[in-house]
Amino acid sequence: MPYPFACERPRPGLFLWSLLAVAALLAGCSRPEPPPEPVRSVKLLTVGVGAMQTRLEYAGEVRARVESRLGFRVAGKIVQRSVELGQRVKPGQALAQLDPQDYALAAEAARAQVVAATTQRDLAAADFKRYAQLKDQNFISGAELERREATLKAAQATLDQARAQASSQGNQTAYTRLVSDVAGVVTGIDAEPGQVVTAGSPVVRIAQDGARDVVFSVPEDKVGLIRVGQAVQVRSWSGGDAFAGRVRDVAASADPVTRTFVVKVAVEGPQVPALGATVYALPEALSHAGVQAIKLPTSALRQEGQATAVWVYDEASGTVRSQTVKLATADGNEAVVAEGLAPGTRVVATGVHVLSPGQKVTIYQPKTPEAQAAANSAAPASQAQ
């Protein structure tokens, strides 16, 4: 009879089956091996040197070389304006009129002072003549005659002053009428009838007939390339043949609002558009047309940290590697490469954001001969400054 508390010895077969079940459970929980990364097909382009097409063009305006801002030489209230915006004027033509009432009264008072001073001068002259006769008869002393002579001189000076004052008041009255001293076109009206203006305040702006300028603005990084005398090609916004001009003036300081520099181009000839017309100026100093450089489409570029990079294809291994490049400028829809690539290098043209360093790739081939020919003809050449 066995001992009642004795443990039963485990069976060897049951323990083996338990180990197999645990191993199978662990095998089912482990991750499967990832599938191999697929070999991507990429489009390549061969880096080459080509001519740039970029020509910097700026919008400008045709202006008169001399524009006068005319105003009254005296203060007063405007009672009449005789010209309108865009009207042609001639020298001597009336432009505006001030209320002359106060100046007319002042001129009349000045004339009255002239009459009074003339009377005083005549009286002093008569006294001097009479005392001169008395001196000849030795009835008066020489000192008394000298006093009469001094009185006459003072009266004459007072008369001269009154006459000058009357002349000045007459001019003041004439200044209440604003007239044009040049021939040109009215380009601005700065005051209207009923408005009280001070002396010198602009009332009418006139663009004088004669030479014309094309005025446009350039940014700070380009103004250093423009010099007086350089050629500038100008074309009208409305169409027509382009005509040539020369840089006449470059602003010495930037505009306080736009921070750009004003450039004035002298233009002459019958083809010059009307005043105020919009034109396009193409400075030859800022043109890159014809410069040989390396160009890449923007689809071939990617950002690598703070640098710009491209994928370079290694034909020996069939993989790609990253190559940083330095860009100079843009030429249309292409980027101009200044450093980092040499002609003949093959780079990936599209799909650059799905590749990784050392990844194996295949070269994409068009399915039809027509597509192959089109791809070959569209392969861009490269361009750099």
281 and 294 both lie in a single domain: no
Indicate the residue among 229, 255, 286 that finishes a domain: 286
Mean pLDDT for all residues in the chain: 83
Q: What is the CATH number of the domain that holds 343?
A: 2.40.420.20
271 & 294 share domain: no
CATH number at residue 164: 1.10.287
CA gap 322, 356 in Å, rounded:
8
Report the percent of the chain where pLDDT is more than 70. 84
Strands (E), 268-345: 278-283, 292-297, 302-304, 307-314, 319-331, 334-339
The tally of domains found in the chain comes to 3
Q: What is the pLDDT of residue 214?
A: 93
Confidence (pLDDT) at 142: 83
How much of the chain exceeds pLDDT 90, in percent?
38
Note whether residue 10 is domain-resident: no
Residues 175 and 104: their CA atoms lie apart, in Å, by: 11
The answer on pLDDT for 136 being more than 90 is no
Residues 179/93, Cβ–Cβ less than 8 Å = yes
Please write the tens of the pLDDT for every residue from 166-216: 888 888 889 999 999 999 999 999 999 999 999 999 999 999 988 899 999
Who's near 177: CB < 8 A, 6+ residues apart?
A: 94, 97, 98, 100
What CATH number corresponds to the domain at position 223?
2.40.30.170
**Residue that finishes a domain, picked among 263, 286, 309:** 286
How far apart (Å, rounded) are the C-alpha atoms in residues 329 and 49?
Answer: 15
Residue 385, pLDDT score:
33
Same domain, 297 and 324: yes
Q: Look at residue 109 in the predicted model and tell me its pLDDT.
A: 92
Looking at the fold, whether 275 and 295 belong to one and the same domain comes out as no
Instruction: Give the DSSP H/E element, type plus range, for residue 25.
Output: helix 12-29
Residues 277 and 231 in one domain: yes
Residues spanned by the domain of 273: 209-286
Domain boundary among 253, 286, 319: 286
Position 291 scores a pLDDT of 72
Sign of the CA dihedral running 314, 316, 319, 321: negative
pLDDT beyond 90 at 45: no
Encoding tokens for residue 379? Answer: 């392969």
The 10s digit of each residue's pLDDT in 369-385 is 554 555 454 444 443 33
Choose the most confident range, by mean pLDDT, from 70-79, 314-323, 348-357: 70-79
Task: Say if 61 falls within a structural domain.
Answer: no
Does residue 325 surpass a pLDDT of 50?
yes
Q: Is residue 4 part of a domain?
A: no
* Packing angle, helices 142-174 and 101-136, rounded to 10: 160
| pLDDT over threshold 60, residue 27 | no
Question: Do 254 and 297 share a structural domain?
Answer: no
| Alpha carbon distance 176, 74 (integer Å) | 7
Comparison of pLDDT for 354 and 331, the residue scoring more:
354
State the pLDDT at residue 290. 65
Q: How large is the average pLDDT for residues 279-290? A: 81
Q: What pLDDT does residue 1 have?
A: 44
Q: Tell me, yes or no, whether 300 and 279 share the same domain.
A: no
The residue type of 379 is: A
Residue 119 in domain: yes
- CB-CB contact of 44 with 346 (8 Å): yes
**In which element (H, E) is residue 365 found?**
none
Which distant-in-sequence residues (6+ apart) come within 8 Å of 209 by Cβ? 64, 182, 183, 184, 185
Does 14 fall in a domain? no
Whether 310 and 333 map to the same domain: the answer is yes
Residue 179 resides in a domain: no
Domain-located, residue 274? yes
Residue 286 contacts residue 260 (beta carbons within 8 Å): no
Reported as a single tens digit per residue, the pLDDT across 61-95 is 999 999 999 999 999 999 999 999 989 999 999 99
Q: Is residue 384 part of a domain?
A: no
Instruction: Assess whether 333 and 264 both reside in one domain.
Output: no
Q: Can you tell me the distance from the alpha carbon of 203 to that of 191, in angstroms, rounded to the nearest whole number?
A: 5
**C-alpha to C-alpha distance for 376 and 48, rounded to whole angstroms:** 14
* pLDDT at res. 31: 62
Q: What phi, psi does 90 have (nearest 5°)? A: -120, 160
